[in-house]
């Protein structure tokens, strides 16, 4: 009964977001005005959280939070009969990036102890408040400044902070997430529409998410101009001052070091074997056979979150162009099944 109420409440939250996104400001209810105000405050506190990107995030949640989707997702798992306290150290690189972890804990019948990121501290509490109201159930969660009493931990950080987290939580059941990035494989026969969808995978959230593509694998004789032509839909990213600062800095470094790169005045392409690239830069390498591609992906598997490619390339668990920023409910960070982990806490 309690689980059914949680599921119904979560699906109502999805419907609420759908309605919110379809309204103009003059039609907002009192709590929709509250949400709009939180969105504006979020951008003030963290300029990367533009209104466009927050609304894009809301649209994704609105689309997947249907009762059918939630039930189909949860059907694979056993709900714990004994509630435990699960500490969550959330990231703040893109809006509501930690909401999926919080959902998993609550729907596993556990109690999340939530350490919010200072970069994303406003929207999640509102979502939880509305979920509780729609569920007609008092959702159990705590927002904390420091984790003390817990039975398990899920923490997200950089590669550097992950070392400290692993040491600090060495005696607890835990998932410690590190830096990951995403890769796109160009086959060579993509349409302009497909390449424009790839631009969404690259530039959405300014490239700050682990599902953003920062590394391209392209055929040996592929013309880079085709990429630049189809990236123009995102040329306005250069008007964002923080993105522009990164672009100017990285361009200056490459010029000073006399490094080769290709530039279209808002993103640079650099032939570089590194998997991770700086913000405003896309690293790429050329390949002669699909076997080279598969070898690269296997070698870097532990650092890759998502692979964007055409299905005919036969890359396991790859997603189509334009889908990197639209994960489903059963898509888990670092490919670690969070719900399965929570079932044995």
Q: Which CATH superfamily is domain 181-313 in?
A: Aldehyde Dehydrogenase; Chain A, domain 2 (3.40.309.10)
Closest Cα to residue 179, out of 215, 216, 211? 211
**Could you report the per-residue pLDDT of 17-28, keeping only the tens digit for each?**
999 999 999 999
DSSP for 247-301 reads HHHHHHHHHHTT---EE-SS-EEEE---S---TTEEEEEEESSHHHHHHHHHHTG
- Pseudo-torsion of CA 28, 33, 36, 40, nearest 10°? 140
Q: Give the model's pLDDT for residue 123.
A: 98
**Could you report the per-residue pLDDT of 308-339, keeping only the tens digit for each?**
999 999 999 999 999 999 999 999 999 999 99
Tell me what percent of the residues of the chain surpass a pLDDT of 70: 100
Dihedral class, residue 155 (left if φ above 0, else alpha if ψ from -120 to 50, else beta): beta
Q: Give the model's pLDDT for residue 38.
A: 98
Q: Give the model's pLDDT for residue 241.
A: 98
Q: Give the model's pLDDT for residue 244.
A: 98
Q: Give the model's pLDDT for residue 138.
A: 85
- Pseudo-torsion of CA 288, 200, 204, 255, nearest 10°? 50
Going by CATH, does the domain composed of 2-179 fall within 3.30.70.260?
no
Cα distance between the two ends of the chain = 22
The domain ranges of the chain are 2-179, 181-313
Residue 1: pLDDT over 80: no
CB-count burial class (<10 Å; 0-12, 13-18, 19+) for 223: exposed
Q: Give the model's pLDDT for residue 64.
A: 98
Is there a common fold for 2-179 and 181-313?
no
The pLDDT mean for the chain works out to 96
**Could you report the per-residue pLDDT of 116-170, keeping only the tens digit for each?**
999 999 999 999 999 999 998 889 999 999 999 999 999 998 888 989 999 999 9
Section 267-295 average pLDDT: 97
**Could you report the per-residue pLDDT of 156-214, keeping only the tens digit for each?**
988 889 899 999 999 999 999 999 999 999 999 999 999 999 999 999 999 999 999 99
Q: Is the distance from CB of 103 to CB of 77 less than 8 angstroms? A: no
Instruction: Provide the pLDDT confidence category of residue 278 given band limits of 50, 70 and 90.
Output: very high
Q: Give the model's pLDDT for residue 136.
A: 86
- Pseudo-torsion of CA 105, 106, 108, 113, nearest 10°? 40
**Could you report the per-residue pLDDT of 255-269, keeping only the tens digit for each?**
999 999 999 999 999
């Amino acid at each position: 009964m309690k689980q059914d109420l949680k599921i119904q409440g979560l699906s109502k939250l999805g419907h609420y977001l759908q309605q919110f996104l379809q309204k103009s400001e003059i039609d907002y209810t009192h709590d929709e005005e509250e949400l709009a105000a939180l969105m504006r405050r979020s951008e003030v506190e963290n300029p990367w959280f533009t209104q466009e990107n927050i609304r894009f995030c809301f649209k994704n949640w609105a689309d997947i939070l249907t009762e059918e989707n939630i039930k189909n997702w949860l059907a694979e798992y056993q709900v714990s009969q004994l509630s435990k306290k699960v500490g969550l150290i959330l990231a703040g690189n893109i809006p509501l990036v930690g909401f999926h972890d919080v959902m998993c804990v609550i729907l596993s019948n556990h109690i999340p102890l939530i350490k919010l990121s200072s970069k994303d501290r406003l929207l999640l509490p509102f979502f939880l408040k509305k979920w509780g109201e729609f569920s007609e159930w008092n959702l159990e969660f705590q927002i904390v400044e420091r984790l003390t009493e817990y039975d398990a931990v899920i923490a997200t950080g950089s590669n550097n902070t992950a070392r400290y987290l692993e040491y600090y939580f060495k005696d607890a059941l835990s998932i410690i997430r590190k830096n990951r990035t995403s890769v796109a494989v160009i086959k060579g026969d993509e349409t302009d529409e497909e390449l424009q969808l790839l631009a969404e995978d690259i530039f959405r959230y300014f490239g700050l998410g682990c599902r953003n593509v920062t590394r391209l694998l392209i055929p040996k004789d592929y013309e880079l101009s085709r990429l630049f032509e189809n990236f123009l839909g995102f040329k306005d990213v250069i008007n964002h001052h923080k993105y522009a600062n990164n672009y100017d800095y990285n361009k200056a470094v490459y010029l000073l070091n006399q490094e080769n790169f290709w530039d279209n005045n808002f993103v640079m392409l650099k032939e570089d074997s590194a998997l991770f690239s700086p913000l405003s830069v896309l690293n790429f390498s050329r390949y002669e056979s699909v076997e080279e591609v598969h070898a690269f992906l296997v070698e870097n598997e532990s650092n890759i979150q998502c692979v964007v490619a055409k299905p005919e390339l036969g890359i396991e668990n790859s997603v189509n162009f334009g889908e990197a920023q639209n994960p489903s409910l059963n898509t888990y960070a670092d490919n670690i099944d969070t719900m399965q982990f929570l079932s044995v806490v």
